[in-house]
Chain A
Amino acid sequence: MTAALAAPSSAVLAFERDFAAHRARARVTFVIVSLALVMATLLTADFSGFFRVTQVTLADGTRAERWVILAGIPKLGDYIAKTIPEIRWSTLVSDLGEWFWRWRIWADLLVETVLIAFMATVMGLAGGFVLSFPAARNLAPARWVLWLSRRYLEIARTVPEIVFALIFVFCFGVGPMAGVLAIAVHTAGSLGKLYSEVNENIDMRPLEGVKAAGGSWFDQIRYGAVPQILPNVISYTLLRFEINVRASSIIGYVGAGGLGQELRTAVALGEHTDLSALFVIIFATVMLIDWGSEKLRHRIIGLGRTL
């Protein structure tokens, strides 16, 4: 032990030298990268107007300069205060009734919202699943197939739902169908990308086994790849369903069905308490679905089924 410490071999010395150099290089890189990140953050903050100064009227009537964030926060409070309904303990039931005065319509629209999200998730799942195999580097049968399916998925997920919704409302008219299609296209794009990344991390040996036994490309996918990715596919799809409920409660804003149309009228007519009522409904629904899908996810993954 002491002998080894006393006389380090030349290989050990060379290692110590290399290691010190490596450490120094790593430190320089760290400093440079950190500085660059800080600069970029400050620049973008400035560009987005975070450092602006705005005029405010003080309590005594004089005007003064204030940082935009400090000036804006009280207004945010005011707006939220306006949306909070008056609820007294003594008249609780009638107050709640007044707050949710359009509950019949809202209940119908809520069902529509969830159905839009469900339908869109199913369609997006199908589209994304099919495209995720040609869009995976390790599975694509040819270069051009990979390129084409990747570009398609990119376009589908880059364009926001609301834009697709506008287009589809124009094509197919006002109503939930436009909403379903809009969210489905976007979902296919996002899920297809996620699934394809799962595909790129699978073990290729089972696929080779299927191929060596005379299986076609489709056989390799079906028997070699699908069983491996299935738990992830289910998990991502359920997560996406939650996201889609949020999306489908907004797209009504452009006439594509669901609760969004009520949001729009409430904003337009200045019905502030309606906004908070709608927010409560959407929040409760999303929470419920969150909880349900998490239970389901754990069940399915825990089962380890052979599908």
Chain B
Amino acid sequence: MEQHILSLSGLGRSFGSTRAVDRVTLDIPPGQFVGVIGRSGAGKSTLLRLINRLIDPTEGQIRFGGADVTALKGRALRNWRRDCAMIFQQFNLVERLDVLTNVLVGRLADHGFASSMLMRFSDAERALAIRALDRLDLAPQAMQRAGTLSGGQQQRVAIARALVQNPRIMLADEPIASLDPGNATRVMEALRTINREDGITVLVNLHTIDTARAYCDRIIAMRAGRVYFDGTARQLTDDVLRDIYGSEGLPAFDPSVTSTAIRPVVTA
């Protein structure tokens, strides 16, 4: 698979008078594990949605290799969405369908109308889906209804769905925000494995600084729609954090308050 740089230039999105994302310019080389942090409303979700093209930018451009992603339409747009898989905080699975079918949804971009409407998938696709589930230790649950799984299991089903898309980029919008520490760790480990073994670029929104420090090669902090910090975990000092989260009024800012890690992570 060819490796391309994902580059955002002057990317912006406004909702009425709010500039949710404001002239963001970034280059993300292939295979990087990038964490995006920032306080609520900073524009993290909007940024990921712009990249996946779930929403359209009001200004700027997204390029991937030679292609102008912002100009894609129809079939090409669906293929782009397949190439940059998305994982949501609320999992966004179809609860009434079984786990296997939920994973096979990741194959829909390559299906015609009839086979998709009849929910007809090839044996090869099923095998792919089962292998993906097995990587996430969920093969035994394949025939269970997705709604009957725990939150952590559902998020891993969502990751399996993303995997069968054969994506080049994986976008995860607060994937561990509604999980307990144990499940949060499993999900983050799964993302790390995918990043390292499959060479997939990972872009993950996080609210927990420890997690960002522990997993990400690069941390991007957003504030009011802008990129406020872009660097390594080491460069992310407490002073920078205080600026990002705007906690001037609070006596002491403690990053471990937002931690989900089980074992204590050495901070800074």
Using a CB–CB cutoff of 8 Å, the interface residues on chain A facing chain B are 205-206, 208-216, 218-219, 222-224, 227-228, 230, 304, 306
For A218, the chain B residues whose CB sits under 8 A away are 113, 116-117
Please report the C-alpha to C-alpha distance between residue A234 and residue B91 in the assembled complex, in whole angstroms: 28
21 A-B residue pairings within 8 Å (CB atoms): A205-B91, A206-B92, A208-B88, A209-B158, A209-B161, A212-B85, A212-B92, A213-B82, A213-B165, A214-B79, A214-B82, A214-B108, A215-B108, A216-B78, A216-B108, A216-B116, A219-B111, A219-B116, A222-B117, A223-B105, A306-B101
Given contacts A214-B78, A214-B79, contact A209 B113 (CB under 8 A): no
For A211, the chain B residues whose CB sits under 8 A away are 54, 81
> Are A213 and B116 closer than 8 Å at their CB atoms?
no
CB distance from B142 to the nearest CB of A (A): 12
Interface string of B70-101 (1 = CB under 8 A from A): 00000000111110011010111111111001
> Are A214 and B96 closer than 8 Å at their CB atoms?
no
Interface of A: prevailing SS: helix
B4 interface contact, C-beta 8 A: no
Q: What 4 A-B pairs are tightest by C-beta distance, nearest first?
A: A214-B109, A209-B92, A214-B82, A212-B86
CB distance from A218 to the nearest CB of B (A): 6
Q: How many residues of B contact A (CB 8 A)?
A: 34
For A213, the chain B residues whose CB sits under 8 A away are 81-82, 85-86, 105-106, 108-109, 161-162, 165
For B52, the chain A residues whose CB sits under 8 A away are 212
Of all chain A residues, the one with the shortest Cβ separation from B161 is A213
> Are A227 and B96 closer than 8 Å at their CB atoms?
yes
> Are A306 and B96 closer than 8 Å at their CB atoms?
yes
CB distance from B65 to the nearest CB of A (A): 18
Q: A212-B54, A223-B101 are in contact. List 11 more A-B contacts (CB 8 A).
A: A210-B94, A210-B105, A212-B52, A213-B85, A214-B78, A215-B105, A218-B113, A219-B105, A227-B96, A227-B97, A304-B96
